[in-house]
Chains A and B, each alone.
Chain A
Amino acid sequence: MTTDARRPPPRRLYGAWGRRELQGLFWQVLVVGIALAVIGFLWSNTVTNLSARRITTGFAFLGREAGMPIADSLLAYNPRDTYLWAFVVGVGNTLRVAVIGIVLATVLGTLIGISRLSANWLLSRLAAVYVETLRDIPLLLQLLFWYVLMQALPAARAAWRPIEGVFLSNRGLILPAIPIGPLQFWVLGAAVLGAAVFYLVRRRLIAQQMRDGKPRPAWPVALGLIIVPPAAVSLVLGVPWTIEWPQLRGFNFVGGLTLAPEYFALLIALVTYTSAFIAEIVRSGIQSVPRGQWDAANALGLRRSFMLRQIILPQALRVIVPPMTSQYLNLTKNSSLAVAIGYQDVVSIANTTLNQTGQAIEAIALIMAVFLTISLSISFFMNWYNARIALVER
């Protein structure tokens, strides 16, 4: 009441509108006008240029035969497929690098971040050197470096064999593989179902613990639900679990899983580079947990693993998750450097399309659409996770 009385009466200098509103309108009209004028200018030039070069706009070209070779892809492809399918194959390749890269970079980065805090002087120094070196050299240079090293590896005949069945040569990394067919998918499906049931069971166990305070270990249930159903399905259907060992035939390898040098170099570069940034995020996250929390947990006589899992990590994660999200986005965007060593991700394929068809605007629009979709999905997932672990103040 009193605050309302003290507020000055609204100024009415220019009729019904205050000066502020009029100024605001003026600036908005000016900025939007300039933006529209620039866009209009560029647009009309583009339309003129495109018609001069006889390029029709629109996405009709996606149905045409691509004719470009794609050497290494997750999805089956041959040059007679359409541009649309080539794009999809490119998206598959981008996701193949990004998803595996994110998982590996998180694991490696967390290990190095923890190492930096180790009481062992040598370990923490080495981790610090790793972080500083990798962060201060451009990723593209590191990528070229790894690629050169890949090419300098011995030829297939003289391949290195660190472990039986694993070959490292200038053809890339070759690993033993388990061929995945429709039968194996049923087994995977059973495992996923088991995990889903476990999630529900765990929720009940936690709710029960909240009621009577008795801890109920969840891991036996987890083990049972994730191992038993797939094993049962596997036995009932008689799924063959043969391991396919790669073999050298002539100048190349047959069988097994091949990580082409381009893919392998890109993966190493992205994982090591990003892990240096993740290490710093993990370190600062752990350091942000107040000393008193460690002391309190120690005073309660908690086991170290329990303390880390239940006291330190939940608090550190609140600091870690938001910057981690942007690292994941960076890794995904950086996978586009693939074009420099000839791994065909979505950007590289879009660029080839652009050169072949001249459909510049459409190709760039597709790249933007793909990356905006990926970014939004990652942000969405991480925001959901962040909200779950966020501090609940009562």
Chain B
Amino acid sequence: MTVIVDIPDAPRRARRPQIGNPVLRWLRANLFSSVPNGILSIVLLAILAKGVFSFVQWGVANAVWLTPANDSSACRAVRGVGACWAIIPEKYRFILFGTYPFDEQWRPALSVLLFIALFYLSSRRALWRRELVYLWIGVLALISVLMWGGVLGLSFVSQDRWGGLPVTLILATFGLAFGFPLGILVALGRRSKLPAIRSLSVLYVELIRGVPLVSLLFMASVMFPLFMPSGFNIDKLLRAQIAIILFAGAYLAEVIRGGLQAVPRGQYEAADALGLSYWRKNRLIILPQAIRHVIPPLVNTFIAFFKDTSLVLIIGIFDLLTTAKTAIIDPAWQQFSVEVYIFVAAIYFVFCFAMSRYSRGLEGASRR
């Protein structure tokens, strides 16, 4: 048997001796490293245990999971001591799809899946090519066909019957798809050497960012009809969509401007030296680098923006949050709004958490 001899002069790695049970060792290092730390851990554990216990009691042990259709008596019986999850199977189709015709609800469901697939594909670095733009155009067109119908044997469904999750995804995605190019133009405008264009861009960004989104939405819902020639009427959803695009454009412009500032001067000079025109210089050399710099903050802006679409509730558009709020107007189920809000919060959380994980991953990747 060969014996590996420890060379006495070799520097020993500063490593704690590995004695004792690994679990105990971990506990000692992470929870009980000092007396105050130990007291803190015990207090926190007690609070956590109490919190988890009461939530499990309310949300699992005493909860009602299913009731016969349209019957909330079982839920009323446990009111205050148990959750009424039965409201979710009762109302989920209304919450997810609003007043979209019941038999046609596979269409918004399919649209939601298409949206998710589109987001997933767009998140893959390997697919960041020109074809992705065509894919976006294609999928968004397909979703419009699915939602509206009226062609290919699909029955026509007017916009005022849309609701729920597809509306939230439409507002966010179209807001992004149009707000992004707008943001690029405004960001370029803000860094332009031409004073008129620069001041217009600054004015636009500062005005939009200076006021709350709520007031922009009020403006869209109340003032838009005033702006248009009489007799010209555009849909409420489209009006809100325009407000959201203008809002997104201003915020994205600021993020992209940050990216433009991070591109080294030499890149601009090299592009000028090649004799490229302004647009070719930006399209081929500057913007790809600028956007690559700001992908993590861009994703964070998308998250903020996805959450902000819920504000259309205030002007009465049937997005996911509005359908949730409407679902509990029903007198029989009125008292169980907490359960519905938790359900909807979980949906929002899944989307936003996925995006935030992705952004974190990108930050890690770019640091390496």
Please list the residues of chain A having a beta carbon within 8 angstroms of any beta carbon in chain B.
23-24, 27-28, 31-32, 35, 42, 45-46, 48-50, 52, 119-123, 126, 132-133, 135-142, 144-145, 148-149, 152, 333-334, 336-337, 339-340, 347, 350-351, 354-355, 360-361, 364, 367-368, 371-372, 375
Bound: A140/B40 CA distance, A: 33
Bound: A137/B31 CA distance, A: 30
Bound: A342/B344 CA distance, A: 22
Contact of A138 with B348 at beta-carbon distance under 8 Å, contacts A126-B44, A372-B211 already known: yes
Chain A proximity of B276: nearest CB distance (Å): 13
Chain B proximity of A140: nearest CB distance (Å): 5
Contacts of A49 in B (CB 8 A): 225-226, 230
Bound: A303/B145 CA distance, A: 68
Smallest CB gap from B30: residue in A: A121
A368 engages B325 (CB within 8 Å): no
Binds A, one of B124-132, B148-156, B194-202: B194-202
> By DSSP majority rule, is chain A's interface helix, strand, loop, or mixed?
helix
A148 engages B337 (CB within 8 Å): yes
Contacts of B229 in A (CB 8 A): 45, 48
B67 at the interface (CB under 8 A from A): no
By size class, the interface of chain B is 35 or more
Bound: A136/B303 CA distance, A: 8
A354 engages B222 (CB within 8 Å): yes
Please list the residues of chain B having a beta carbon within 8 angstroms of any beta carbon in chain A.
30-31, 33, 37, 40-41, 44-45, 48, 189, 193-197, 200, 207, 210-215, 218-219, 222-223, 225-230, 278, 303, 307-308, 310-311, 313-314, 321, 325, 337-338, 341, 344-345, 348-349, 352-353, 356
Bound: A24/B212 CA distance, A: 34
8 examples of A-B residue contacts, CB within 8 angstroms: A32-B196, A49-B226, A135-B356, A137-B307, A149-B338, A336-B212, A367-B212, A371-B212
Chain A proximity of B194: nearest CB distance (Å): 5
Smallest CB gap from A35: residue in B: B200
B345 engages A145 (CB within 8 Å): yes
Contacts of B212 in A (CB 8 A): 333-334, 336, 347, 367, 371
Partner of A50, one of B226, B307, B314: B226
B210 engages A372 (CB within 8 Å): yes
B196 engages A28 (CB within 8 Å): yes
Contacts of A24 in B (CB 8 A): 193-194
Partner of A123, one of B40, B207, B222, B278: B40
Give the A-B pair count, Cβ closer than 8 A: 149
B353 engages A141 (CB within 8 Å): no
Contacts of B228 in A (CB 8 A): 45
Contacts of A35 in B (CB 8 A): 200
Contact of A360 with B226 at beta-carbon distance under 8 Å, contacts A24-B194, A145-B341, A371-B210 already known: yes
B30 engages A367 (CB within 8 Å): no
Given A31-B197, A42-B227, A336-B215, 10 more pairs with CB closer than 8 A: A27-B197, A31-B200, A48-B229, A122-B45, A123-B44, A138-B348, A361-B226, A367-B211, A368-B210, A372-B211
Most chain B CB atoms below 10 A, which of A122, A145, A339, A372: A122
Contacts of B210 in A (CB 8 A): 368, 371-372, 375
B218 engages A136 (CB within 8 Å): no
A360 engages B44 (CB within 8 Å): no
A138 engages B321 (CB within 8 Å): yes
Partner of A148, one of B225, B227, B338, B345: B338
Bound: A122/B210 CA distance, A: 40
A141 engages B348 (CB within 8 Å): yes
Bound: A149/B342 CA distance, A: 12
A138 engages B223 (CB within 8 Å): no
